[in-house]
Amino acid sequence: MVDEFRAAFQELIDASVATDPQQFPPAVHKVYLLASQIPASERELALEALTPLLSGDHAAPGIIADLSVVAGALVEMGTDPGPAGIETLHRLRTMGKGAIVFVRAWERTGGGPPPDPDAVTADAEARVAAELGPDAPAATMCWWTIRRHGLAARTMLGEPGVRAHTRRDPSLHAELVAIANQLSDQLTEFDEVRALLRMAEASSALVMDRTSGRAFRVLFDGISDNFQLHTLLADALIGPHGQGLPGDPPDPRWTASFRDGPVDPAAQTVWGWWNLVAHDGAWVWNEGVPAEIPTIDGEHVLVLDEQPYPRSWNAGRRLPHVRGWLQVDSELDTEEAALWWNRVAPAEPAIPDPDAQDHTPLPEPVVLHTPAAEAQRVRGFVPRIEPEDRDQPTGDTPDRHSPDAALPPAAPEGIPGLTGTVAGDDPTGLPATGHGSGSEGTLRSTGPADALPDESAPQSAPWEPPPADQELPPATEQRGSGAPDPSSRQGGHGTPATTHTSTGSAGEGTARSSEEPAPTAPAPTGPGEGTPAPGAPSTSTPTGLPRMPRGVSQSSGWGPAWR
């Protein structure tokens, strides 16, 4: 089986470099079907071999975008991304700049929403050409491929090693945040890219317990919000198995759901322990993220105060495909802790004096139904309120009089040097004439970006794609649900390519050829320009092969339809 996989992978490399529209699709099929049946070490070697193609200009931009999706599918099978993960982010940075140029040019040439990347036509390129001139083909190519690069980057950022790399490269991180901020309005895939980049911004904190006067330095990763941080802190600090702080330790089922396990239906309601407060006395909302916790000398400082009233929330990670963890690195000695306490604002009353004018606004608690009995026994009391809905939180969010209390800091609006033309290095690696060259003309047609069928993974049930005219829901996090919807998972190990289907990203299932508007500009008729190689099967004719991973085209033409 290993030899068969190696041969198939070599065929994939050869077809990629040759831009062979007949051999590339079957090569992708073979690699994908065999990958789950070989050791992870063999998949790691395959990713290592893909890295030069992802980082250079050895293949055309459409092929590189599809290879990025294939790399993401291999990572979702449990493969360490290695250098391929980092190169995927670098490629997103390059293509993202060009995609933003396209969007800005579109806005300046008539307004309205830009076309879906999977439905770009010659009309779109002609429209932005009025603003971009000779850079229009390259910018249009960036927009055409940007969704695939976003899907691949979303998978790679789910891996701790890739997130760690962005912390070591602040310039890359800042540019990716700017790209995600500017593209998330058009493409919902970039909402999660942005959330994963925010996750990478904080990996440690100084935690101070006001009741005992003790202070701890904690390390963590994969923490997507402060609900998760709060619960894992309680597990690490409370009771004899933690650091001995007073209180009832969390139900192990809660803790497991915030690390790497599923939500137990019998333990969906988590009851809080503290009021999280910043060093200046401001409340730290559970709906926020660790990166928003204010710092002293570059260190996030979190104070654990008495709760003004019982709080609760739903178990489960906001990003189910990302493993979370937290551990105590060290406890400060008494003298060092005293020095830190001198820098922290004194405690406010748990229930502020209503006559006082200067205190943190207190949300009004809402009485809801009683949680499950199992969770009550663990906490040792029977509260009378129900968990906060993380979409519409009640007990731990600012009320309508302080709507901005939990908003994240504003992200940069743009990328330096990015104006009306493609800035910096060439975002596509194409000549000035763009994808009208002979090699790119046969690169790829806008065939359907079909969803990954489970028939390629024997352990899963068959999956039927939605109708082409069915609009997919936007990528939103159902924070109020007791257990994450399995369909929203990006795919753990053993469920390949589900990252490319998670959260129902809009437009991911739209057909790229059969449902695409017919091009209105005449396509070049020169050799290799938009004409499939002789004998290439029609894009509308079933091939008999299983479907590609989500984001990879079924088309054998392998080039933009308008070229």
> Do 149 and 291 share a domain, yes or no?
no
Q: Is residue 455 part of a domain?
A: yes
Q: Is residue 54 part of a domain?
A: yes
> Do 188 and 245 share a domain, yes or no?
no
Distance CA 359, CA 499 (A): 44
> Do 42 and 191 share a domain, yes or no?
yes
What separation, in Å, do the N-terminal and C-terminal C-alpha atoms of the chain show? 39
521: amino acid identity, one letter: A
> Do 113 and 34 share a domain, yes or no?
yes
In residues, how long is the chain? 563
> Do 156 and 251 share a domain, yes or no?
no
Residue 314's nearest CA partner among 364, 260, 267, 383 is 267
> Do 243 and 180 share a domain, yes or no?
no
> Do 69 and 27 share a domain, yes or no?
yes
Tokens of 27: 């090569």
Distance CA 143, CA 179 (A): 12
Decide the pairing of beta strands 215-221 and 325-331.
Answer: antiparallel
> Do 67 and 153 share a domain, yes or no?
yes
> Do 192 and 217 share a domain, yes or no?
no
Query: In this structure, are residues 58 and 26 in contact, taking their beta carbons and an 8 Å threshold?
Result: no
Place of tokens 């109020």: 480
Question: pLDDT tens track of the chain, all 563 residues?
Answer: 888 899 988 989 988 888 877 888 888 888 988 998 999 999 999 999 999 999 877 788 889 999 999 999 999 999 999 999 999 999 999 999 999 999 999 999 988 899 999 999 899 999 999 999 999 999 999 999 999 999 999 999 999 999 999 999 999 999 999 999 999 999 999 999 999 999 999 999 999 999 999 999 999 999 999 999 999 999 999 999 999 999 999 999 999 999 999 999 999 999 999 999 999 999 999 999 999 999 999 999 999 999 999 999 999 999 999 999 999 999 999 999 999 999 999 987 655 555 655 555 555 444 444 444 444 333 343 344 445 555 444 444 444 334 444 444 444 344 444 444 444 444 444 433 333 333 333 333 333 333 333 434 444 344 444 444 444 344 333 444 333 343 333 433 333 333 333 333 333 333 333 333 334 443 333 333 343 333 333 444 343 333 444 544 443 334 555 55
Q: Is residue 67 part of a domain?
A: yes
> Do 249 and 189 share a domain, yes or no?
no
Q: Is residue 384 part of a domain?
A: no
Q: Is residue 269 part of a domain?
A: yes
> Do 310 and 172 share a domain, yes or no?
no
Residue 405's nearest CA partner among 413, 397, 416, 395 is 397
What domain range is 317 assigned to?
211-346+364-379
Q: How many domains does the chain have?
A: 2
**Structure pTM?**
0.66
Report how far apart, in Å, the C-alpha atoms of 547 and of each of 32, 33, 464 are: 10, 10, 11
Q: Is residue 32 part of a domain?
A: yes
